[in-house]
Amino acid sequence: MPGDPDKQEPRDGEFKPVKTLWTHVRNANRRISEFRPTSFYLLIAIIVVLLLGLQIAEYRVNPARSTFVLGLLFLFFFAVMVFAVLEAGQIVRRSLREKRELWQSTLGEEAFLTELSKRVREHRDS
């Protein structure tokens, strides 16, 4: 990044900023987070919600509160399913785009198709 102060060279008479452990951890987390899909965070959220949902056993005496908590759990898991379907669609679109790019870079080239058809005709005629 051009504006990142950690990567800028110090000018004459200036000292380079000292990197602390927290700075290294924050930069590493930023780099790693770029590659994490949404489903990673949803899986962590599922575990947390299930642990919080264990409290529903304590609401046996109050059916209204138990129903409310159960409704919130169903709402959360419905949202998780929606995000999962959206991410599956992104994966399918990315896969189809990569297949199309691969086709264009190999078999889709005009010179390759011309040479291939010429060799097929030669092989068929011989």
Q: pLDDT tens for residues 98-114?
A: 999 988 887 777 888 88
Residue with tokens 């189809």: 96
- Count structural domains, the chain: 1
- pTM of the model as a whole: 0.55
* Structural domain includes residue 80: yes
* Structural domain includes residue 4: no
DSSP assignment letter at 59: G
Of the CA atoms within 13 Å of residue 85, those in its CB half-sphere come to: 5
End-to-end CA distance of the chain: 60
* Structural domain includes residue 101: yes
| Parent domain of 41 | 21-125
* Structural domain includes residue 7: no
42-82 residue pLDDT tens: 888 889 888 888 887 777 788 888 888 889 889 999 999 99
CB 107 within 8 A of CB 101: no
Residue 1 pLDDT class (50, 70, 90 cuts): very low
Cα radius of gyration (the chain): 28
CB 69 within 8 A of CB 59: yes
* Structural domain includes residue 9: no
* Structural domain includes residue 8: no
CB 6 within 8 A of CB 27: yes
* Structural domain includes residue 5: no
Q: Is 56 exposed, middle or buried (0-12, 13-18, 19+ CB in 10 A)?
A: middle
Residue 53 and residue 49: Cα distance in Å, rounded?
Answer: 6
Joined tokens for residue 69: 């908590």
* Structural domain includes residue 90: yes
